Amino acid sequence: YFPEQIVAHVTARRAPNIVISDESEQLLDSAGGIVKALPELGDQPFYILNADTFWIDDGPLNLQRLALAWDAAKMDILLMLADLQQATGHCGSTDFLVAPDGGLRRSKGDPAGLIYAGAAIVHPRLFEGAPAGPHSLNAYFDSAIAAGRLFGMPMHGHWITVGTPDAVPLAEAAVAGALIESQ
């Protein structure tokens, strides 16, 4: 959405160094964009952050907690997860059930499940042999589940999505409420 504004904004920044992987000719979906960008990302685990989600922390920083929980020996993906009660703008059901060791399986809408909160750490080995072109990250979640290598960490704070136009006013109200509380 308005990609030229995003490009203009980030190219004007000096730090951090930003490399743009252009999808203006074809949108590549959540995994296709990662596969295209892999040559820029290197061979170390990296963060994935969805552009339509954010959160208001009420404790230790969630991305730091995610990094501290990462274990490349047993994980291909570590997802940050949110409870439905701490979510604004989400119109679906839950995504994953969490085992005592943090391993994940699909919740199939189970209300005891958690939502993928749009932040993750991923090892690039997961994408070996991946096809170019549009495709979803969900297929990689499922292959990591099958291999016992998808894990999750519940986040702290309030999770907000603006993935649909209807979610925008809800997000604005949640942020305004958080600003009032912090004053």
Amino acid in position 171: A
- Which residue from 21, 1, 3, 18 is spatially nearest to 132, judged by alpha carbons? 21
Q: Do residues 31 and 120 touch, judged by C-beta distance below 8 A?
A: no
Distant-in-sequence, close-in-space partners of 55: CB < 8 Å, separation ≥ 6: 62, 82, 117, 155, 157, 158, 159, 160
Domains of the chain: 27-182 (3.90.550.10)
Instruction: Give SS3 for 9.
Output: helix
pLDDT level of residue 83 (50, 70, 90 thresholds): very high
Distance CA 30, CA 144 (A): 16
**Residue indicated by tokens 């959160």:** 55
Q: What does pTM read for this prediction?
A: 0.90
Q: Is 179 a residue whose pLDDT tops 90?
A: no
Q: Is 1 a residue whose pLDDT tops 80?
A: no
Please write the tens of the pLDDT for every residue from 111-155.
Answer: 999 999 999 999 999 999 999 999 999 999 999 999 999 999 999
Q: What is the DSSP string of 96-113?
A: EEE-TTSBEEE-TT-TT-
| Phi-psi category of residue 104: left, alpha or beta, with phi > 0 → left and psi -120 to 50 → alpha | beta
